[in-house]
Amino acid sequence: MRLSRRTSQLALVLTAVLTLLIAAPLARQAAVQAQSSNQNQLTVYSPQTTYSVPLLDVNGQSYVGLVDLFEPLGTIDARADGKKYKFRFTAPGGRPLESQFNEGKDKSKVRGENYKLPANFVIQTGRGYVPLSAASVVLGKLLGTDAQLHPAARRLFIGNVPIRYTLELRPGNPSHLLVAFSSPVNPSIATEPGRVRLTFRREPVVSSGADTVPYSDPLITGATFSEHDGLAEVDVTGTAPLMANFADGGKTIIITGAPPPPPVPQEAPPPAPPPTAPAAQPQPKAPAAPRFLVLIDPAHGGNDIGAAITPDLPEKDVVLALARRLQHELASRGIAAGLMRNSDVAISLDQRATAANATRPALYIALHAANTGRGVHVFTSLLPAANLSPGGFLPWDTAQAAFLDLSGSVAGSVAAELESRKLPNTTLPAPLRPMNNVAAPAIGVEIAPPGDIVEEIASAPYLQQVAQSIAAGVAAVRSKLPEVRP
């Protein structure tokens, strides 16, 4: 039996469409999965904080997650509804601003205005991603301020945050190069023979003029600015070993020749006669100022996803969102807080304890999430009380035993704040790693869904309530916790 030519063509088209419908999502998924393992990071500098956001590579184009991008800047509520992705952002003290994106489409509506994305919107495991080149526009529209993207360097500047610098060469013997910044900086400094490299990871340092400045000086031959991989570098070259010193409260870095190494004595010199006048004694270095730092440890990360709260919602993401809110809430109460991780990276349990002990925080808070139970569980270490001095040598396995009383005080205070906000809570000791190894007051906080709907564990209002409770609980017992010298 023969079909008409038109029917044959129709059958062919139908076959092609069916094949495409089945193959396209699979191919895209494979492409995303193959490339997501090679994630890059975008460094975002805002007036409030500096943070890193993982980038997703989709078909050779960099994408950034809206939740990752906006979470440190305010309150967000995002949900995928089929192919639609609804995103609500509320800046601190501001009103909610709505946006809507469509998977596989470049048309979007940001704050009520139509905006054409430079490439199609992507939804991956329930999260919405915009092309990196659109990040500054979306940020600008929702924050109401300018945002500048340096795409090649993967650096994004929100508002008037860039730190600029000037170079001034003072010839002499030896010559000095003064690098003066508009704000204090704290770069890592690496020296090699004839070279000093200043690396700025957290400071939004940008070039003020020419990137390369040559000098016809016998010691310092040039300075070069570069930015790449989410950081900036100032590279100073010379004809002899160089060294860098801070001045002007960290606003100036002076680069000059390094002193020659002391000669190696061949023989013991004869004893010097006693000085007739008292020699100038070196002044003892002033002790560093005490500081009160809370170290927040969002558990898991990288390949270790923790509990699967839902198939699309891993514990590692929930706790990172909570950690960022908690850091913000503590800062609003005048308490400095650091994050053990501010991106999706894997850190082993021993590494966490080692880093915590090296940081010497006034308080260590481990954050966890689970899909079983209700409300918030506050934990202290499950160790028998031991008569250990916090200042002495502490055994690794039971370091926490010396701080159990203080840890219990913090846990009680946090539980009281949770109670006052009518959040169901339980406080008890738990064998939670790595709390036993932490030589500082330490608590663990595990959030479970607030009610029957598991997905509400990641809702903005719930996370905010929990973060406020923890921060208020810490603030209430701050005077009991010893400030620790760095």
- Chain positions contacting other proteins, by CB under 8 A: 1-3, 8, 11-12, 15, 18, 299-300, 304, 306-308, 315, 349, 368, 370-374, 377, 379, 382-384, 397, 426, 428-433, 436, 444, 446, 448
Sheet holding 113-116, edge to edge: 75-81, 84-90, 97-102, 107-110, 113-116
Which residue's CB is nearer to other proteins, number 324 or number 377?
Answer: 377
Tracing tokens 């701050």 back to the chain, one arrives at 478
* CB of 126 or CB of 429, closer to other proteins: 429
Q: Given the complex with other proteins, which of 55 and 394 has the nearer CB atom?
A: 394
Coil/strand/helix, residue 447: strand
Give the angle subtended at the CA of 41 by the CAs of 39 and 46, to the nearest 5°: 155
Q: How far is the CB of 441 from other proteins (least distance, A)?
A: 18
For 38-47, b where at least 16 C-beta lie within 10 A, e where not — what string?
Answer: eeebbbbbbe
Nearest approach, Cβ of 379 to other proteins (angstroms)?
6
What H or E segment, with its residue span, contains residue 322?
helix 315-332
- How far is it, in rounded angstroms, from Cα 302 to Cα 265? 53
Task: Report the distance separating Cα 313 and Cα 307, nearest Å.
Answer: 9
For other proteins, which is the closer residue by CB, 219 or 321? 321
Cβ at position 472, least distance to other proteins in Å: 22
Q: Which is nearer to other proteins, 62 or 427 (CB)?
A: 427
Angle between helices 404-420 and 460-476 (to 10 degrees): 130
The span from the CA of 51 to the CA of 202, in Å, is: 8
Three-state SS at 371: coil
Query: Judged by CB, which is closer to other proteins: 5, or 116?
Result: 5
Closer CB to other proteins, 2 or 95, in the complex:
2
| Contact (Cβ atoms closer than 8 angstroms) between residue 467 and residue 329 | yes
Residue 434, preceding bond cis, omega within 30 degrees? Answer: yes
- Please compute Rg for the chain using Cα positions: 28
Identity of the residue, 71 or 315, whose beta carbon is nearer to other proteins in the bound complex: 315
User: Smallest distance, Å, CB 125 to other proteins?
Assistant: 18
CB of 8 to other proteins, least distance (A): 4
Token duo for residue 195: 């070279």
Asked if residue 397 lies in contact with residue 436, where contact means CB atoms within 8 angstroms, the answer is yes
CB of 424 to other proteins, least distance (A): 10
Residue 72 CB neighbour total at 10 angstroms: 21
Separation of first and last alpha carbons in the chain: 88
- Tally the C-alpha atoms within 13 A of residue 375's C-alpha that lie toward its C-beta: 13
User: How far are the Cα atoms of 282, 382, 390, 433 from residue 441, in angstroms, in the given order?
Assistant: 37, 13, 10, 14
Nearer to other proteins, 326 or 432 (CB): 432
Burial of 212 (0-12, 13-18, 19+ CB in 10 A): exposed
**C-beta closer to other proteins: residue 18 or 336:** 18
Contact between residue 177 and residue 214 where contact means Cβ atoms under 8 Å apart: no
What is the C-alpha to C-alpha distance for residues 352 and 319, in angstroms, rounded to an integer? Answer: 15
Taking the least distance from each CB to other proteins, the nearer of 149 and 309 is: 309
Do residues 381 and 456 make contact, with C-beta atoms less than 8 angstroms apart? no
Closer residue to other proteins (CB): 436 or 465: 436
